[in-house]
Amino acid sequence: MTTLHDLSEHLESKRDEISKWMDEKRAEVPIPFYGSVDVRDAGWKIAVVDANHFPAGFNNIAEQEMAEVSALMHTHIERNYGDCSWIHLYPEAHTRNKGYVENIATIQKLLIMAGYRCTVGSPVFDDRGWLDGISGPVELTPVEVEVIDGVERLVVGGGLPCLTLLNNDLTEGILPGLGNSVFPPKEMGWHRRRKSEHYEQLQNYVDEMAEMLGIDSWQLMTEWFVSENKCLDKEACRVRLAEEIDEFLQGLREKYDAHGIDRQPVAFIKNDRGTYGLGIMVVTKGEQILALSNRKMNRLMYAKGGVDVENFLIQEGVPTSLLTSEGAPVEPVVYLVDGHAASWFYRINPKKGDNENLNSPSARFESIHEVGKVYGEHAHGWHALVAELSMLAMGKELLAYEETTNGVPA
pLDDT beyond 70 at 276: no
Distance of CA 156 to the CA centre of its chain: 29
| 139 torsion bin: left (phi>0), alpha (psi -120 to 50), beta (else) | beta
Within this chain, do residues 325 and 227 fall inside the same structural domain, yes or no?
Answer: yes
Picking from 136, 166, 188, the residue at the C-terminal end of a domain is 188
Within this chain, do residues 295 and 181 fall inside the same structural domain, yes or no?
Answer: no
pLDDT beyond 50 at 408: no
Distance (Å, rounded) from C-alpha 347 to C-alpha 355?
A: 13
Q: How many domains does the chain have?
A: 2
Task: Identify the band that residue 148 occupies on the pLDDT scale cut at 50, 70 and 90.
Answer: confident
Distance (Å, rounded) from C-alpha 25 to C-alpha 27?
A: 5
Q: Are strands 151-156 and 143-148 parallel, antiparallel or unpaired?
A: antiparallel
| 162 torsion bin: left (phi>0), alpha (psi -120 to 50), beta (else) | alpha
Q: Which CATH number does the domain housing residue 80 bear?
A: 3.40.50.11280
Give me the phi and psi of 367, to 5 degrees please: -80, 165
Within this chain, do residues 173 and 244 fall inside the same structural domain, yes or no?
Answer: no
Within this chain, do residues 372 and 237 fall inside the same structural domain, yes or no?
Answer: yes
Provide the Cα torsion 256, 315, 53, 324; round to 10°: -60
Query: What is residue 182's DSSP assignment?
Result: E
Within this chain, do residues 318 and 199 fall inside the same structural domain, yes or no?
Answer: yes
Picking from 152, 173, 188, the residue at the C-terminal end of a domain is 188
Within this chain, do residues 271 and 396 fall inside the same structural domain, yes or no?
Answer: yes
Residue 306 structural domain: 5-56+194-405
Task: Identify the band that residue 124 occupies on the pLDDT scale cut at 50, 70 and 90.
Answer: confident
Within this chain, do residues 340 and 391 fall inside the same structural domain, yes or no?
Answer: yes
**In contact, 83 and 93? CB cutoff 8 Å:** no
Residue 410 lies in a domain: no
Distance of CA 304 to the CA centre of its chain: 16
- Interval 157-204: pLDDT, tens: 999 999 999 999 998 888 888 877 899 999 999 888 999 999 999 999
Q: Are strands 137-139 and 130-132 parallel, antiparallel or unpaired?
A: antiparallel
Q: If you average pLDDT over every residue of the chain, what do you get?
A: 90
Picking from 170, 188, 206, the residue at the C-terminal end of a domain is 188
**In contact, 226 and 314? CB cutoff 8 Å:** yes
Within this chain, do residues 211 and 151 fall inside the same structural domain, yes or no?
Answer: no
- Interval 316-329: pLDDT, tens: 999 999 999 899 99
- Per-residue pLDDT at 371: 81
Query: What is residue 379's DSSP assignment?
Result: I
Distance (Å, rounded) from C-alpha 314 to C-alpha 243?
A: 12
